[in-house]
Structure 1
Amino acid sequence: MPSLLSRCNILPIVLLASLGNCEIDRESIVRQFNLRLNQSHPYSPVQVGNGNFAFGVDVTGLQTFLPHNTLSSWGWHNSSLPTTPNQTSISDYTGVDWWTHGRLVNYAQPNPAEKDIGQWLISNPHRINLGRVGLWFGEKNVSEDALQRKSQVLDLWEGAIFSSFTLNGSRVEVETVASPESDTVAVEITSRLFKGGELGVFFDFPYASGKNKFDAPFVGIFNATANHTTALKARRHGATITHTLDATTYVADITWESDASIARVSNFSHRYVLKPARSEDTLTFTINFAPRTVERSGTFEDVKDNAVDWWSDYWSSGAFISLPTSSNSSAKELQRRIILSQYLLAVNGAGKDPAQESGLVNNGWYGKFHMEMVFWHLAHWTLWNKWSLYDRSVGVYERFLPTSYDRARHQGYQGARIGKMSDPTGRSAPGEINSLLIWQQPHPMYFAEMEYRKFPSKKTLKKWDRILSGVADFMVSYAWFNETTKVYDLGPPMYPVSENTNPNQTVNPTFELAYWRFGLDIAEKWQKRQNKPVPATWRNVRDNLAAFPVENDVYVLYEGIKNMWATPATAEDHPGLLGIYGWLPPGTRLNLTIFDKTVDKVYKSWNFTYSYGWDFPLLAMTMARLGNAEKAVDWLLDPNNKFNEVGMPVGGTRVPTPYFPASAGLLLAAGMMAGGWDGLEGPIFPKGWDVEVEGFSAAM
């Protein structure tokens, strides 16, 4: 069993002092993992940002040599609709009808007869790169290799990037920060190259790409200059550039503090150059991106001061964990991943919408987010007590409730059916997996229950009441009563968590059965807390769902699966069936003897080479609940679960780098091991580890 180590809760300073060395020196631990680089990374830019906006940079502290992306929550674009006969509007798409338990159900799936409009719906809207900002070296053709003494430091505690290099013997220093309140980058550049007119700053605006499912590492087309327009309106110490791409228009407002001038490079480009007066050796400016003209964003110092305050508060509030980094290499690597993941998720995964899988680094799935992945993007905030960040995007369930009701009604179900691959309007993109996946449905129950444990109030009950009722009504409507077995089945057609089975044969998958019971149980509790009657159908379906499928004394993916362990396609991808104990608390139907054998079978038979980044935290949570903290840490540091030197999780062969569900999953597992769960107090780490934790909430 794991050792139970020291636990330091967030307490008043006086009480902390009376407990001895309990308060963790957070700043020194965070700064221990400041990034120190001397070259650019194409797939892993260093970033500043605020969750709704991120600015990726190369080794110069800007986007000088590599066109890293400037992405936001609001920056989206629609391509022109197809002109194919009978496929000229969204209403021309009809989807596909599948037989489902004796009736035809319409699913939003690719239809060969409607290929063009179907693909348009998949790829639109797509997220756009708002613009590129880099150093201008006059007419000289300067490459990164020409720079000497390159150095770059990301100060995690302050959220600032400090970059420096020399060019032809002259030193250039660049400081880059982002506003915590707006889509603003603030930059200060110091160099004597300004005096010779050999240095300036360029701003370049690309056309939207929107044709590639994975638009990585760089987003946008910079040489399609005829497809869009930019217009410059200059003023004293500033300028506004209006960028129009078809029906999408936004502005970039630039403000500088010393004498300088800005002009378009040529009549046929969308590149502008800002040059300070030759009497200056310092240029400070801010650039604010917005869907419409907004107030000026203030000076460089204003933005920097706000950023320093926000980041120091971010690190100082909520939970924290200190691992024995000086004496244990595994602990040091785990601490590194935890700290860098906290920074990267605040930049990429704390916006008004749930994060896309690659955050605001590049575009995966056209920049859209996946509703089944909301759990892996948001659940960690609840254990780490970062509720203000969690609350930014969890409102997506209320916002999407009308479209969720429409989706269920269209298919002949009751209640609200949550979609999958979504844009900010709540429209789910067509796709066979998109329309047949179901494990996203109980997510609101998990979030609501964690929130109520922290804030047991009428406000919390009211916040989630309509959502849980609507989702529960769909869940019981979706379950099909099997007259032969006298139980309720889930599917077919459907895809389980692993998305690697035949949907027409997939029925009663293990994890989905457990999650369905869990969700309906929470929905019943919600009714009782409000003194409302519990619908009989909720209890009837929950209590009479099919049993977990078992074959040769181990749980299997779904009922009736043949040769699961000998078939590579079904013994790889997400090992979701282990989520029934670890990710989820143990339900009444769980047989621990069978589960232990299932864990052994997965370990022996699974092809983890093709597992995804959140699979390893899932495995870690399972091992922690089983009392094996050593193995839990091993899974978090598994060779197949790679985090690069910038702290970004490597996506692997199936998705682009980064793959942020791995980062959020890591924090979820670490938070569970730090705070424990119902019936077992944390921290729960390997024996001999000197661990201190502060401020964690317990998992269920």
Structure 2
Amino acid sequence: MLLPRSWWSTSTLIAIAFSVAESKIDREAIVRQFNLKLNQSHAYSPVQVGNGNFAFGVDVTGLQTFVPHNTLSSWAWHNSSLPTTPNQTAITDYTGVDWWTHDRLVNYAQPNPAEKDISQWMIANPHRINLGRIGLWFGGQDVSEETLVGKIQELDLWTGVIYSTFLFNGVQVQVQTVASPETDTVAIKLQSELLKTGILGVFFDFPYASGKDKFDAPFVGIWNATANHTTELKSANSRASIRHTLDATSYFADVAWDTEASISRFSNDTHKYILVPKKTSDTFALTVTYSPESSKDTETFQKVKEKATGWWSDYWSSGAFASLPINTNTSAKELQRRIVLSQYLLAVNGAGKDPAQESGLVNNGWYGKFHMEMVFWHLAHWTLWDKWSIYDRSIAVYERFHQANCDRARKQSYNGARIGKMSDPSGRSAPGGINSLLIWQQPHPMFFAEMEYRKFPTETTLRKWDVILTAVADFMVSYAYWNVSTHVYDLGPPMYPVSENTNPNQTVNPTFELAYWRFGLNVAEQWKLRQEKPIPADWHFVKENLAPFPIENDVYVLYDGVKDMWTTPALAEDHPGLLGIYGWLPPDPRLNLTTFNLTVEKVYQSWNFPNSYGWDFPLLAITAARLGDAERAVHWLLDASNQFDEVGMPVGGTRVPTPYFPASAGLLLAVGMMAGGWDGMDGPNFPKGWQVVLEGFQKAM
């Protein structure tokens, strides 16, 4: 049974439910307890090294010897040739689709059936490319993973170094793999007596870009289209530079090594190169740096390792940390495992200059593009875990895309700035049936700005966000439509709600979007007050006169007028976004807690949870926690349908490939709220009897 809000605000019961130790956490011991220890490769879930902008996935050899895992970067994108269909040979030939919207035609970036080829080109381009494969070369012998014996691999999470060892023909081979925290560099060290025999070396191989499948997973690129691209090798003095050209895209792989070796193309009809050390030493170290321009400033393996070790040690030592009772509680141990591995994987995959794509830098989903509505689920957790320097890396996306967002709104005859959806680094939003009709990404800047101001209540913070919040609020107000019959402002149609599973022509006043709209406009008003600037009258009027939450049979429903919501499979599944009005968001002024409690129970009874995935379960956990049900919150984070595999990768749903990193970031967001609490409720909020030790968490709204 869900209990009223007054229950969880009772300090006496909090003291009974939780015991928080005061001793300092031994962070290193906890982190290293969850070091990855493997003896085989994983197809979908590579062990990775990386820095947020660059990631290198490996198989059990510590390289990409048997499994062609990907090497992805934030800058590495490719455009296919434009179509040659008559009247569809340039981006300007795409016109979108005009859609009747509240008594006027609005142009939306929808795939146009009359412009099929250029529409698809704009959806698929640019697409992220795989920079190349690096693996062990065994003197030309036919070797498989099964050939190797005694395989042991360990990722030391505290230092970001992968140690791999195995026997080949009875001789031990040791491999160390680490990525630079500063550049797109992977550093490798081999140690084996086989190096003295000339049958152990390293190969480099380069694929062509695909750009045809929205899910290019688990392996990115086309390896047999060798005629479609070129590579060129230049080498001298323990260095080599390989230039890879794919149509108009060109970049370099600069290789540097520490002892005498030779490098050559494997054969004329391949883009594979072999680096073989001379038979003088049982160790061989090299670095490979990928960049748009060739650089001579390569670093040694040891230098890269030292920098990486220092960066990862600082990462784990700074910000917030949670120690759960892993020795006495199996649920706590599994939750701790997910917390630690998620922290590592998000630093590798979700801490770049752009918001992360849903699969991070593991493989390509949606052509490698990132989704602006998912920025909340990728970045919000950094604020609660006090990792502001990492948050700062990509939050500037709102400033970078501001002009494009203003242009989008103006083209549709709205005021202000309309934030897009499926984006590339330029800020262009790809056409899509859902892309141009989604709106829940609009108030995200208000959430981030408010969290920043709580941490940094300065004029600098106010100035940083003022232009962006003003433009977004102006759009939100102009988007809302005055209903002359009901005398309220409606949201939609046409639109898609959070769940993306409704008829856009029938979707009006979805519950979550109404709450988020009101939240966003309220923050925008507060922003003006803090600067002693006037609040635009239409902001306040629209906020106060938005449509009420839709209710049917005493519970909130997906949108106003929805039919048979709880018995229609397509509606009672996917993201249960309507629960976000109390949990994700602070309590809405119009929220009826009795109605909300009944709604939560209805979701629990009717939802198709096995078809849910990703951030759905953290959303459920946050709602349960705010309602005072910490046991249920943990249940949702560990639900059987919310899987995290052996490597710590969050398993995607039936419609998306593994991994799906909003699940990882969402888990950390939920844990951060349970640890730090929220306005009106101090943390921690974990199950009764859990002995938890917490450091450095920020309070949520």
Equivalences for residues 15-34 of structure 1 within 5 A: 21-34=22-35
Equivalences for residues 123-522 of structure 1 within 5 A: 123-522=124-523
Equivalences for residues 664-679 of structure 1 within 5 A: 664-679=665-680
Separation of aligned partners in 2, 1:692 and 1:334:
14
Separation of aligned partners in 2, 1:300 and 1:6:
46
Partner in structure 2 of residue 561 of structure 1: 562
- 1:416 is paired with a residue of what secondary structure? coil
- 1:511 is paired with a residue of what secondary structure? helix
State whether residues 6 and 693 of structure 1, in contact with CA within 8 Å, keep that contact through their aligned partners in structure 2: no
Q: Deviations over 1:377-417 (max 9, x none)?
A: 00000000000000100000000000000000001100000
Q: Which amino acid aligns with 1:411?
A: Q
- 1:685 is paired with a residue of what secondary structure? coil
Partner in structure 1 of residue 699 of structure 2: 698
Q: Which amino acid aligns with 1:318?
A: G
Partner in structure 2 of residue 42 of structure 1: 43
How many Å apart are 1:294 and its aligned residue? 2.5
What number of residue pairs does the alignment pair up? 688
Q: Deviations over 1:302-356 (max 9, x none)?
A: 0000000000000000000000000000000000000000000000000000000
Q: Deviations over 1:280-310 (max 9, x none)?
A: 2111000000011234221101000000000
Equivalences for residues 514-663 of structure 1 within 5 A: 514-663=515-664
Q: Deviations over 1:628-681 (max 9, x none)?
A: 000000000000000000000000211000000000000000000000001111
Separation of aligned partners in 2, 1:620 and 1:497:
17
State whether residues 7 and 682 of structure 1, in contact with CA within 8 Å, keep that contact through their aligned partners in structure 2: no
TM-score (norm 1): 0.98
- 1:446 is paired with a residue of what secondary structure? helix
- 1:568 is paired with a residue of what secondary structure? coil
Q: Which amino acid aligns with 1:699?
A: A
State whether residues 53 and 352 of structure 2, in contact with CA within 8 Å, keep that contact through their aligned partners in structure 1: yes
Q: Which amino acid aligns with 2:586?
A: P
Separation of aligned partners in 1, 2:521 and 2:216:
39
Separation of aligned partners in 2, 1:218 and 1:6:
46
Q: Which amino acid aligns with 2:471?
A: G
Q: Which amino acid aligns with 1:104?
A: L
State whether residues 20 and 691 of structure 2, in contact with CA within 8 Å, keep that contact through their aligned partners in structure 1: no
Separation of aligned partners in 2, 1:415 and 1:613:
32
Separation of aligned partners in 1, 2:14 and 2:126:
50
- 1:194 is paired with a residue of what secondary structure? helix
State whether residues 3 and 686 of structure 1, in contact with CA within 8 Å, keep that contact through their aligned partners in structure 2: no
State whether residues 229 and 244 of structure 1, in contact with CA within 8 Å, keep that contact through their aligned partners in structure 2: yes
- 1:569 is paired with a residue of what secondary structure? coil
How many Å apart are 1:611 and its aligned residue? 0.9
Separation of aligned partners in 1, 2:20 and 2:235:
57
State whether residues 166 and 172 of structure 2, in contact with CA within 8 Å, keep that contact through their aligned partners in structure 1: yes
Q: Which amino acid aligns with 1:404?
A: N
Q: Deviations over 1:54-99 (max 9, x none)?
A: 0000000000001000000000000000000000000000011110
Q: Which amino acid aligns with 2:518?
A: R
How many Å apart are 1:269 and its aligned residue? 1.0
Partner in structure 1 of residue 118 of structure 2: 117
Question: In the superposition, relative to structure 1, how do residues 154 and 414 fare at CA in structure 2: closer, same or farther (>3 Å)?
Answer: same
Separation of aligned partners in 2, 1:289 and 1:470:
38
Separation of aligned partners in 2, 1:575 and 1:675:
24
Separation of aligned partners in 2, 1:408 and 1:617:
32
Separation of aligned partners in 2, 1:573 and 1:292:
44
Q: Which amino acid aligns with 1:643?
A: F
How many Å apart are 1:194 and its aligned residue? 1.3
State whether residues 612 and 653 of structure 2, in contact with CA within 8 Å, keep that contact through their aligned partners in structure 1: no
Separation of aligned partners in 2, 1:616 and 1:97:
37
Q: Which amino acid aligns with 2:147?
A: A
State whether residues 108 and 435 of structure 1, in contact with CA within 8 Å, keep that contact through their aligned partners in structure 2: yes
Separation of aligned partners in 2, 1:566 and 1:411:
36
Q: Deviations over 1:545-588 (max 9, x none)?
A: 00000000000000011111111111111000000000000011
State whether residues 19 and 689 of structure 2, in contact with CA within 8 Å, keep that contact through their aligned partners in structure 1: no
- 2:254 is paired with a residue of what secondary structure? strand
Q: Deviations over 1:100-158 (max 9, x none)?
A: 00000000001111000000000000000001000001121000000000000000000
State whether residues 86 and 92 of structure 1, in contact with CA within 8 Å, keep that contact through their aligned partners in structure 2: yes
Q: Which amino acid aligns with 1:333?
A: E
Q: Deviations over 1:519-566 (max 9, x none)?
A: 000000000111110000100000000000000000000001111111
Q: Which amino acid aligns with 2:516?
A: Y
How many Å apart are 1:232 and its aligned residue? 0.7
Q: Which amino acid aligns with 1:206?
A: P
- 1:432 is paired with a residue of what secondary structure? coil
Q: Percent identity?
A: 74
Separation of aligned partners in 2, 1:321 and 1:46:
24
State whether residues 482 and 489 of structure 1, in contact with CA within 8 Å, keep that contact through their aligned partners in structure 2: yes
How many Å apart are 1:7 and its aligned residue? 5.3
Partner in structure 1 of residue 69 of structure 2: 68
Pair 1:90 & 2:91 matched:
yes
Q: Which amino acid aligns with 2:672?
A: G
Q: Which amino acid aligns with 1:137?
A: F
Q: Deviations over 1:238-288 (max 9, x none)?
A: 111111100001001000001111111111111100000011211100000
Q: Which amino acid aligns with 2:33?
A: Q
State whether residues 495 and 507 of structure 2, in contact with CA within 8 Å, keep that contact through their aligned partners in structure 1: yes
Q: Deviations over 1:145-189 (max 9, x none)?
A: 000000000000000000000011010000000000000000000
Separation of aligned partners in 2, 1:420 and 1:246:
27
Partner in structure 2 of residue 14 of structure 1: none
How many Å apart are 1:6 and its aligned residue? 4.9
Separation of aligned partners in 2, 1:646 and 1:321:
20
TM-score (norm 2): 0.98
- 2:434 is paired with a residue of what secondary structure? helix
Question: In the superposition, relative to structure 1, how do residues 593 and 507 fare at CA in structure 2: closer, same or farther (>3 Å)?
Answer: same
Separation of aligned partners in 2, 1:293 and 1:138:
29
Partner in structure 2 of residue 689 of structure 1: 690
- 2:82 is paired with a residue of what secondary structure? coil
Separation of aligned partners in 1, 2:49 and 2:253:
17
Separation of aligned partners in 2, 1:155 and 1:288:
22
Q: Which amino acid aligns with 1:415?
A: G
Q: Runs of 4 or more off by more than 6 Å in structure 1?
A: none
How many Å apart are 1:22 and its aligned residue? 1.9
State whether residues 204 and 272 of structure 1, in contact with CA within 8 Å, keep that contact through their aligned partners in structure 2: yes
- 2:303 is paired with a residue of what secondary structure? helix
State whether residues 385 and 696 of structure 1, in contact with CA within 8 Å, keep that contact through their aligned partners in structure 2: yes
Q: Which amino acid aligns with 2:69?
A: H
Separation of aligned partners in 2, 1:252 and 1:683:
48
Partner in structure 2 of residue 11 of structure 1: none
Q: Which amino acid aligns with 2:347?
A: A
Unaligned 5+ segments in structure 2 are 1-7
